[in-house]
Amino acid sequence: MFRRTPLGPVRLLPAMAALAALGACSQEGELVVDQGVGITSVLTSCPAVGIPDYTGDVTLFSGSGKTASDLDLTAAMTNLRSNCDDGGEKVYTTATFDVVARRADVRGARTVTLPYFVTVLRAGSAVVSKRVGEVTLTFADGEERAMASGNAASYVDRSASSLPEDIREQITRRRRPGDPEAALDPLADPEVKAAIARTRFEMLLGFQLTEDQLAYNATR
């Protein structure tokens, strides 16, 4: 399943797998909502970290052609890992990743520098920040493959990523059998859904591609 953002669709876990994963990783300070029907939702201040589709790899060509004979170099992001510290007023998230590359012409030593972006989104579409970094790959003479590592970091205000107390109370309030609200799912309330959406942040990483490179990835 995919969810589309301004940077491209982001791959998501299937719904049941995601719920199971969230339930398994709940920690102190997180709000756990259990409606008693086998569905558990965990609300955390830490942003989701991922690579949007079509931005996790880049292809360079020699000359103006885009055939196999014009292929110069391919590179891909892999092994993305993240860590989140939400113990202070700022939620600090770091990420590391590897870039593996392969070149067509192995003659001579070569250094290639590839730009990558780090973007923080709020509520799935609002860009909070964007930075561009670089990762450098070094090929020895006669070597076809190379690997390098990159890193990224972001800050999010804890107050912005936390639910207001009135919304938390509305979600977690005990409902007695027979109460008019007992059969209603508080997470389906438009006000609650909007409040939850505002606390959802994502840290997205990918290669900083040209329009031609992005179009190539999307259509190949």
Is the model more confident about 156 or about 173? 156
Q: What is the DSSP letter of 189?
A: S
**pLDDT (0 to 100) of residue 146:** 98
Is-contact 5 124, C-beta < 8 A? yes
- DSSP conformational letter for 169: H
Say if residues 111 and 136 touch (Cβ distance below 8 Å).
Answer: yes
Could you report the per-residue pLDDT of 8-30, keeping only the tens digit for each? Answer: 444 433 333 333 333 334 444 45
What beta strand segments (E) does the chain contain? 2-5, 8-11, 31-34, 40-43, 48-50, 57-61, 71-85, 90-103, 110-122, 126-139, 145-157, 201-207
- Chain segment 168-195, per-residue pLDDT in tens: 777 666 666 666 665 566 666 777 777 7
Residue 214, domain extent = 2-219
| Alpha-helical regions (H) of the chain | 15-24, 165-172, 190-199, 211-219
Q: In the Cβ-directed half-sphere of 215, how many Cα atoms lie within 13 Å?
A: 4
- Return the pLDDT at 41: 52
Q: Which of 33-37, 80-84, 201-205 has the lowest mean pLDDT?
A: 33-37
Number of domains in the chain: 1
